[in-house]
Amino acid sequence: MSTATERREQLKTLYEQTRNCRLCALSETRTTVVFGAGNADAELMFVGEAPGKNEDEQGVPFVGQAGKLLEKLLAEIEMDRKDVFIANVIKCRPPGNRDPYPHEIDTCQQYLWRQIGLIEPTMICTLGNFSTKLLRGDPTGISKLHGQVEQRVIGPRAVRLYPLYHPAAALYTPSTLEMLRADFQRIPELLALGAPEQPREPELVAEPEPDRAPERDRAPERDRAPEPDRAPESERVPAQPPADSGGSQLGLF
């Protein structure tokens, strides 16, 4: 088990890897990789769809009108952005705010799985269809699932998965806003339940040593292949320490 400090440092390393990602064509049109922001030890994590124009320019998720609504809904349950971690299914803005393509989601989801594994949230709120379908591994839409909590194992971690409407869908539709607000009101009681029981780590079973040949069957010392020469201690090249991989935007964590 990693300590909180170790997980934090690994998250910084992941941030650096993500910031330089060139795995799909979105790297050619983005302004900034939007890694995610918030508390690196958050119990509650929100996962949206993809960065929009404002997020692409600022490098922080949910900073437009949808983000302001998210902050307002958090305040209504006496929480703040600094208490949670917010990320997206994909880290780069699709041109024209189009929907992410399936191959872009497939390529980028590794970063989200690793974020979840390092932050170790108790509960994940998926915002909208894309994140809900990805984290559930099921095509059922958000209109049928919103407000229904379930336990899911995502990567190595069991979490309470809580699908919600995306705040952007509620900006101009009062009925959707009321459903989103009602679902938000349940978050404190669900967090109070604590983390679900975690999957047991597989036990490592030591492999038996191979049987040794009887003394009479062993090759004489003179017939055994010589060991390769090793360089004298003074001539060996010392192992190089890993380069500092701390993120330059420490405010994100």
Question: What pLDDT sits at residue 203?
Answer: 55
Q: Alpha helices of 89-203 — where are they, by DSSP H?
A: 102-119, 129-136, 142-145, 167-170, 174-184, 187-191
Phi-psi group of 36: left, alpha or beta (phi > 0 → left; psi -120 to 50 → alpha; rest → beta): left
Structure confidence at residue 155 as a pLDDT band (50, 70, 90): confident
Q: Give the tokens for residue 74.
A: 């958090």
- Which CATH number is associated with domain 4-193? 3.40.470.10
Pick from 27-41, 127-141, 146-160, 233-247: least confident:
233-247
Measured between alpha carbons, how far is residue 227 from residues 221, 224, 230 in Å? 12, 9, 9
What percentage of the chain exceeds 90 in pLDDT?
Answer: 74
Identify the sign of the CA torsion 89, 93, 97, 102.
negative
Identify the sign of the CA torsion 49, 55, 60, 66.
negative
Average pLDDT for residues 143-159, to the nearest whole number?
93
Using DSSP's 3-state secondary structure scheme, residue 214 falls into coil
Q: Give backbone dihedrals phi and psi of 37, rounded to 5 degrees, phi first.
A: -155, 150
Say how many residues make up the chain.
Answer: 253
Half-sphere exposure of 78 (CA within 13 A, CB side): 3
Q: Give backbone dihedrals phi and psi of 76, rounded to 5 degrees, phi first.
A: -65, -20
Q: For 40-56, how does the pLDDT look when each residue is reduced to its tens digit (9 = 90+)? A: 999 999 999 999 999 99
Q: For 83-97, how does the pLDDT look when each residue is reduced to its tens digit (9 = 90+)? A: 999 999 999 999 999
CA 105/CA 107 separation, integer angstroms: 5
CA 6/CA 120 separation, integer angstroms: 13
pLDDT at 225 over 90: no
Q: Under 8 Å CB-to-CB from 169, ≥6 apart: which residues?
A: 128, 176, 180
CB 18 within 8 A of CB 111: yes
CA 90/CA 131 separation, integer angstroms: 9
Average pLDDT for residues 71-78, to the nearest whole number?
98
Question: What pLDDT sits at residue 243?
Answer: 38
pLDDT at 245 over 70: no
pLDDT at 204 over 80: no
Question: What pLDDT sits at residue 199?
Answer: 87
What percentage of the chain exceeds 70 in pLDDT?
Answer: 79
- Global pTM? 0.80
